[in-house]
Amino acid sequence: MSSRSVEELFAGQIRGYTLSQALHLDPAVYQLELERIWRTNWLFAAHTAELRRAGDRTVFDIGDDSALVVRGEDGKLRAFHNVCRHRGSRLVDDTIATFAAALPYAGAGGRPPDPFIRCPYHQWAYRLDGSLAACGGMDRMAGFNTREHGLCPVECAEVGGLVFVRFERPPSPSGSPDIYELGQPLLPQRLEKAKVAYSQSYLVGAGWKVVWENNRECWHCHVGHPEYIRSHFDTANTASADVQQQMAARTATMVEALSGLCAGDVYDGGGLATFPSPGRAWSVHRTPLVEGFATESLDGQPVAPLMGEYKSFGVGVLRLRALPNFWCHASADHAVTTRLAPAGLDRTEVVVTWLVDEGAVEDRDYSLERLLPVWERTSEQDWQLCERNQRGIRSSGYRPGPLSDRHEANVAAFHNWYREAMAGG
């Protein structure tokens, strides 16, 4: 699709209304999204907790592209195109992730990770730094240079226990977010010292934009998320003065509990933060939990030992979001991350992961029965809402509808970001 035809599609888009059917369902629009949004933005791919040892690896697929992320012998994380330099075979199969946390360590009688990346087709082997180590004797052919046949690199950034990849630098790098700025507000959580307690994969029958639109408002929360709303002030900005006073009091308590740790990442208003802002593809803030809730659990009671640098509960929830594929809620005792990947016009692959302190032992310090319910139920409730929304958008009776400036301002802001991103620059 030419840039002109995209402009024509947006020319018919009414600001303050939902996106047109064509922007949701046109295959050419989807291909342009892969090119202009998914290839050129930093994408959350994995956790440090999954890639601790030399040789640990995982893959993250976007469209026809696949990033292979590997921990090197020098301790550095690197990413490569998941493509052999011989005949182009994929090196690692279509596995969302191989969680290192679930693999036995060699010291405990397990097998250590393979120190090479091996192509299953013709057994070419690459070192963990991507250089070619073996190619079946082809290196003895006249004119063949092993140094010219290493794996093709993909940008990789390890930030505060989170691993991001970027397939291609954007046309205007100066306007691209500095993903390393996430490191400072993440410090108290110490996700790099966490472990994966559980991970659940979903194939949601809705496009990635529908999933983000749902994430950017909580108008649906009272009816759609009975477990989640018990502990949160997400609708307080549109609630009674009494509820807003409660939120303000809890915010003051939260700020005090965070003294000396991370006052710079506190969002004074609590509840939902404004996001995305113009030119801003990610944000971080904290919000307090309601009285009686120490963490995001069904009964408000702790579900795991304190994480990172926290000395007590009462620190609220650290929230991160990075367009186009990541959000996280991190309480004092556990964190939950959500990773998106487009899987077609009306399909989105989602991985939800729960992390706890690396020293926590399952069935002693935490149980999945208490750790999972809030975000497992909230996530699955959202996927059902998104799938219902997507089915309606596909109908011949769909017409763009007006967005509430009171409840859906963040949805309109997401549409503005999407318009700018699709403009390609």
Domain ranges of the chain: 42-169, 181-422
Beta sheet of 153-159, edge-to-edge order: 43-47, 162-166, 153-159, 77-81, 65-71, 57-62
Task: Give the amino acid at 263.
Answer: A
CA atoms in the 13 A half-sphere facing the CB of 358: 16
Count helices and strands in the chain by DSSP H and E runs: 11, 15
- Share in percent of the chain as helix, strand, coil (round to 5): 30, 25, 45
List Cβ neighbours of 33 (8 Å cut-off, separation of 6 or more).
Answer: 342, 422
Whether the upstream peptide bond of residue 305 has omega within 30° of 0, thus cis, is no
Q: What is the pLDDT of residue 267?
A: 57
Q: What is the pLDDT of residue 245?
A: 86
Q: What is the pLDDT of residue 107?
A: 36
Output the pTM of the full model. Answer: 0.92
CATH architecture assignment, domain 42-169: 3-layer Sandwich (2.102)
Q: What is the pLDDT of residue 96?
A: 37
Structure tokens at 243: 């509820």
The H-assigned helical ranges of 13-79 are: 21-25, 27-33
Mean pLDDT by 10 residues, the chain (425 residues): 66 91 94 95 96 95 96 97 96 57 37 87 96 88 88 97 94 66 89 97 98 96 93 75 86 85 60 83 90 96 96 92 96 98 97 98 98 98 98 97 95 95 79
CA 140, CA 424: separation in Å to the nearest integer? 45
CA 409, CA 149: separation in Å to the nearest integer? 50
Q: Which CATH number fits domain 181-422: 3.90.380.10, 3.40.50.300, 3.40.50.720, 3.20.20.70?
A: 3.90.380.10
